[in-house]
Amino acid sequence: MDDRAMITGATAGLGAEFAEQLAALGNSLILVARDAARLEEKAAGLRSRFGVSVEVLVADLHDDDGVRRVLDRLRDSGEPVSILVNNAGYGLPKSFEANPLGDELNHAAIHLTVPLALSHAALEGMLARGSGRIVNVASVAGFTPRGTYGALKAAMINFSTWANFAYRRRGVTVMALCPGFVHTEFHQRMGMDKGAVPRWMWLNAAEVVRDALKDLSAGKAVSIPSLRYKVLAFIARNAPSSLVASLAARGR
């Protein structure tokens, strides 16, 4: 690869790992997050270690102006973005009825409407150039009946599957990445006890991204890292919904 990649939620977790591995492959980067200090620190480290160009775009994706600035950057044909990683996101610790409506709507925006908006803007240039790649970070929760998080991720899996079918013939790959439990800040931010999840269910962020980039290069519409999660996803798709819902309630 030798392209310009935009990554949202780039200061931690899978976003930071995508930045590391794409930089190691020689790609220029545009890092998007709302914490300016962490962005600058991350960018400086990547420039120093990999010698690549790293652009910083401070934007709160819950803010209309922040989203607009990211959309404008994606539409800039002078320095086009050829890889978009829609990674920004978080979980809500309470059940649907216990969360304030505003929290649920913000949650829906960050996991669905914002990635759709960014994908739409990126596709304009990608289709015109006849090449491009979009990764929508989803979750194996999208294969289960598990609250709004699972529902939103299911929508992104469905969209990515359709979009890959529709646009791959025109040179653009769209892929949903569906990990399970990954050692990142995601669960700590939710206040979740990681010890309650069996060790075998945890994945390493570097391995998840490495597998994702291989699947992206292969043109896959859905990437499920590790054999164990491929098996779990198969069970989730084929087992009775009541059983899947009961099992899914125990995890992310």
Distance between CA atoms of residues 100 and 35, nearest Å = 25
Question: Of 251 and 144, which is predicted with more confidence?
Answer: 144
3-class DSSP assignment, residue 179: coil
Distance between CA atoms of residues 17 and 250, nearest Å = 26
Distance between CA atoms of residues 57 and 34, nearest Å = 8
- pLDDT given at position 8: 98
- % residues pLDDT > 90 (the chain): 75
Domain ranges of the chain: 4-248
* pTM more than 0.75: yes
Question: Of 212 and 204, which is predicted with more confidence?
Answer: 212
Taking only the tens place, the pLDDT of each residue in 19-76 is: 999 999 999 999 999 999 999 999 999 999 999 999 999 999 999 999 999 999 999 9
Q: Angle of helix 147-167 relative to helix 101-108, nearest 10 degrees?
A: 20
Name the nearest CA neighbour of 19 among 38, 27, 187, 61.
27
Distance between CA atoms of residues 139 and 222, nearest Å = 10
- pLDDT given at position 159: 98
Say if residue 99 is exposed, middle or buried (CB neighbours under 10 Å; 0-12, 13-18, 19+): middle
Question: Of 158 and 241, which is predicted with more confidence?
Answer: 158
Q: Which CATH superfamily is domain 4-248 in?
A: NAD(P)-binding Rossmann-like Domain (3.40.50.720)
Q: Please give the mean pLDDT across all residues of the chain.
A: 89
- DSSP letter at 98 equals G
